[in-house]
Structure 1
Amino acid sequence: MIRFDASNFTPALALSAALSVTLAPMAAKAEAPEGWSPLLEPAQLAGYLDTYGDEIRVVHITGDYAQGHIPEAGWSPYASWRSDMPNPGALRDLEHLQLVVQELGIDTDTPVVVVHSGRDATDMGAAARVYWTLKSLGIEDLALLNGGFAAWTAANLPVQTAPATFFPSDYQAQWSEDWRASTADVTALAEAGDARLLDARPAAFFDGSTWSVAAPGTIHGAQNLTYEQFFDGSRLVGAEQIRQIAAEAGYTGATTAVSFCNTGHWAAINWFALSELAQYDDVRLYAESMAEYTALNLPRDNAPNRLVYAYRASTRWVSSLF
């Protein structure tokens, strides 16, 4: 079993249970519309908005919101939902996340659709990471817009430029560890072999031939299940195809799965595909991912020796000058 790791939480997080902010709630209790699913197509979302209006909260998290967005949608930049360098995948403290949710007028029973710009498959990682965060915060009814805002505009659906404002909610944050694996959890699982550790990064990261914010290589005992396999262009494929891809990679949901990448971005796509669409049990996100794991010098596979690593690092630095 994966256990709670209190060392990963800030003092603000520990004190958040006592936090009490009295703000006026939304006027009406919201519920998910009939037929709601974790992945919505533009026409589905448009139909829900026509019927249920502002009972649904649409939130853009990437793109140029001021240049155009779904009518009455809010803006909450992706940077508000996770940390900064050198560990951008780390969780923000609970007090901060509570305020972000309140300012969007969201409560636990508000149906929320997270929208990315849709420029490419990678961009959907931002939406998936915010979805995972909201779910862990206890928001009950969530969805992503397949293909993002680009798919919405391609369907010739209405666009608005005026910013939307919301009456703040009285949401009180409670964090669940049900969909998270900490560094301590991952280390224990890697040693015991009690879970599938799924590296969501492209193969070059997995085999140690390239790297970014983390040292090259992968977590000891991990296998590569790249997020790219779950896409047709910039759109996620359906649950049946996701299950087929996972089965071909040797994962059938028989044990705990932990998805990771460099900073918990690509990994959030794999988590969303396997947990929310394919509906495998006990799929977890290692939010801090390789940025934290390698900073702690924990055991890696496919890690080049020091001489090779130094040579690659020098060539990467020289190439960056041109």
Structure 2
Amino acid sequence: MAGYITGDDPKTLVSTAWLAAHLNDPDLRVIDASYYLADMGRDARAEYVEGHIPGARFFDIDEISDARSSLPHMVAPVEKFMSRMRAMGVGDGHQVVVYDGMGLFSAARVWWNFRLMGKTDVAVLDGGFPKWTAEEHPIEDMPPIVRDRHMTVQRQAHLVKDVTQVAQASKLGDWQIVDARSPSRFRGEEPEARAGLRAGHIPGSKNVHYASLFEADGTMKEGDALRAAFEAGGVDLDKRIITTCGSGVTAAILMLGLERLGMQDVSLYDGSWAEWGQFDQLKVETG
């Protein structure tokens, strides 16, 4: 495992102060990747229209996905991702900063999406839109001026796992499977929000609730404090990891944290519990 990444890093995480200082850089592209669960009662696109970081484009996680899949917001085919980014004016040579309206929730999913497509100059805004507005940085309600930009994509297949690969990892134990859901959902003590899903977790998986990676102000922990959050869940940071959650969103927060800890051998289970929980032939553990 390589060394910790701390402070501003344009490949993982940047502060609101960093973004404020670079907001007018010609090759900076800001993306609002806000996404809310149904029970949150919030409309991500409507909130974006009402106010966003100047120049920000809106990334619709449900629309920029694989329409062929019945599972929620599965990663988009390469061609679709490229065309949507071109339409948003995001392409080669751009430094991308992704944020969301929760602080640090869905932005990491879009960060991982870019990484999967081979784009490394992308960072999550630490503390997100809540921290940006609390510090009275500027916002606007104007749509951005968009100019087409070509994007070259090289899909990094090692960053994603499918259900067959995860089932094998669960059986063989050659990968650690780390679940970002809340402890009560992990243990199967509360019903799943999506209809038809069993309660519980993938056999042999470990639980590191994504919220345990945050400081009290909603920013991500650093260094030893971040490492301790994983170790508290029984994770061995010297062994390779597959992250999972409810539908592949908060699993990306774990990936972001692991990247900050210098881990290289990490993949995300895109189908996550929305897939695993619906198939009776896949074993489930509770407790």
Q: The residue matched to 2:193 in structure 1 has which SS? A: coil
> What is the CA distance between 1:41 and its match in structure 2?
1.1
Q: TM-score, normalised by structure 2?
A: 0.85
Q: 1:134-283 counterparts in 2 under 5 A?
A: 134-210=114-190, 211-213=192-194, 214-233=197-216, 234-275=218-259, 277-283=260-266
Q: Which residue of 1 aligns with 2:38?
A: none
Once the two structures are overlaid, the 10-residue window that deviates more, 84-93 or 289-298, is 84-93
Do structure 1's residue 42 and structure 2's residue 42 form an aligned pair?
A: no
Q: The residue matched to 2:23 in structure 1 has which SS? A: helix
Q: The residue matched to 1:284 in structure 2 has which SS? A: strand
User: Could you list the per-position Cα deviations for residues 161-215 of structure 1 after superposition, in whole angstroms to 9, with x for gaps in the alignment?
Assistant: 2110211122143321121111111011111110111111101111111222231
Aligned partners of 1:208 and 1:302 also within 8 Å:
yes
Aligned partners of 1:125 and 1:267 also within 8 Å:
no
Do structure 1's residue 70 and structure 2's residue 53 form an aligned pair?
A: yes
State the distance in 1 between where 2:189 and 2:232 align: 24
> What is the CA distance between 1:222 and its match in structure 2?
0.7
Q: Which residue of 2 aligns with 1:95?
A: 79
Q: Which has the larger radius of gyration?
A: 1
Shift >3 Å, 4+ stretches: 34-37, 81-86
Q: Which residue of 1 aligns with 2:101?
A: 117
Q: Which residue of 2 aligns with 1:57?
A: 29
State the distance in 2 between where 1:46 and 1:267 align: 28
Q: The residue matched to 1:235 in structure 2 has which SS? A: coil
Q: Which residue of 2 aligns with 1:294?
A: 277
State the distance in 2 between where 1:140 and 1:68 align: 28
Q: Which residue of 1 aligns with 2:3?
A: none
Q: TM-score, normalised by structure 1?
A: 0.76
Unaligned runs of 5+ in 2: 1-7, 35-43
Once the two structures are overlaid, the 10-residue window that deviates more, 183-192 or 102-111, is 102-111
User: Could you list the per-position Cα deviations for residues 189-247 of structure 1 after superposition, in whole angstroms to 9, with x for gaps in the alignment?
Assistant: 11111011111110111111122223111101111111111112432222331112222
Name the CA shift for 1:279/1:80 in 2 (closer, same or farther; >3 Å): farther
Aligned partners of 2:27 and 2:93 also within 8 Å:
no
Q: Which residue of 2 aligns with 1:320?
A: none
Q: Per residue, is there more helix in 1 or in 2?
A: 1
Q: How many residues align?
A: 263
> What is the CA distance between 1:37 and its match in structure 2?
4.8
Output the amino acid matched with 2:200.
Answer: G
State the distance in 2 between where 1:69 and 1:90 align: 26
State the distance in 2 between where 1:173 and 1:281 align: 20
* Identical residues among aligned pairs (%): 25
User: Could you list the per-position Cα deviations for residues 47-95 of structure 1 after superposition, in whole angstroms to 9, with x for gaps in the alignment?
Assistant: 1224xx2311001122412211111222222323335785114222222
Cα RMSD, aligned residues only = 2.0
Unaligned runs of 5+ in 1: 1-33, 304-322
State the distance in 2 between where 1:59 and 1:111 align: 11
State the distance in 2 between where 1:89 and 1:61 align: 13
Aligned partners of 1:80 and 1:100 also within 8 Å:
no
State the distance in 1 between where 2:156 and 2:273 align: 22
